[in-house]
Structure 1
Amino acid sequence: MSELTRITAPDGVFPAAQYSHVVMGTGRFVAIAGQLALDEDGKLVGEGDAVAQARQVFANLGRCLAAAGATFDDVVKLTFFVTDMAHMPAIREARAAHIPDDRLPAASALQVASLVRPEFLMEIEAFAVVST
């Protein structure tokens, strides 16, 4: 695990409520491609269900991080792509199961017209820094 410094309210910037404005660390950089709500067989989990899809996406992120020798503690940035901002509470709930409030990474959320298939409600990518 990398030693990371999180700054939620840099001087002159509004305080962040659900993310950190700045996350710094030294070590090996890991980029995780946008994850979708697919199980290991490529089948959709939770059609029309944002909570189920968010849980599956975070499970997939966790598996990808583990494959890179990282954990959610090493995540410095998350990007949420959602088809409807109404899905953000489900994403925050799933994130909270893996990342405590005192370790929130930097984050961005974008509402998009669609994802690669219409049944996907969200896609989430992650960046991590693992100490070397």
Structure 2
Amino acid sequence: MQRRTIHTDRAPQAIGTYSQAVQAGNTVYLSGQIPLVPATMELVEGSMEVQIRQVFDNLAAVAEAAGASLADIVKLNIFLTDLGHFPLVNQVMADYFQEPYPARAAIGVAALPKDAQIEMDAVLVLNS
């Protein structure tokens, strides 16, 4: 099976030993995104809604670099330091996704890189 590394300057650069995404066959595995602004590599300033939107925008940029879109995501994992933000995630997600929605997990965690409050990773399938 052929593997391809996905990279874009429109999403934050990797802050560790990983790729923004890796394609294996027609499946693309997107690494976790936190609400970093790609140009500054700093956390976006603003409300939790602004942070959630930044994460979705970062995921969208990586998906586009792979030749896909958020609509091609089949599995989305959401990590929150406060599960009280889960209803807001649902509300914002409705602006980015249409039915059929991806399978999803929402997980409460103690901490995230750079003290972010939210991180998401995803798996998408490319149309052949």
Interval of TM-score (by shorter of Structure 1 and Structure 2): 0.7 to 0.9
Tell me the residue number matched to 1:76: 74
Structure 1 unmatched runs, 5+? 1-26
Q: Does 1:52 align with 2:42?
A: no
Tell me the residue number matched to 1:43: 42
Select the residue among 86, 101, 115 that pairs with 1:88: 86
**Separation of aligned partners in 2, 1:111 and 1:127:** 20
Which one has a bigger Cα radius of gyration?
1
Give the letter for the 1:29 counterpart. T
**Separation of aligned partners in 1, 2:93 and 2:41:** 22
Tell me the residue number matched to 1:116: 113
Q: Does 1:129 align with 2:128?
A: no
Counterpart secondary structure, 2:42: coil
Point out which structure has higher relative CO (alpha carbons under 8 A, 6+ apart).
1
Report the TM-score, using the length of structure 1 for normalisation: 0.73
Q: Deviations over 1:39-84 (max 9, x none)?
A: 112021135x211100100000100100000111110000000001
Give how far 1:121 is off.
0.6
Q: Which runs of 4+ in 1 moved over 4 A?
A: none
Give the letter for the 2:123 counterpart. F
Report the TM-score, using the length of structure 2 for normalisation: 0.75
**Separation of aligned partners in 1, 2:60 and 2:96:** 8
Percent identity (aligned): 36
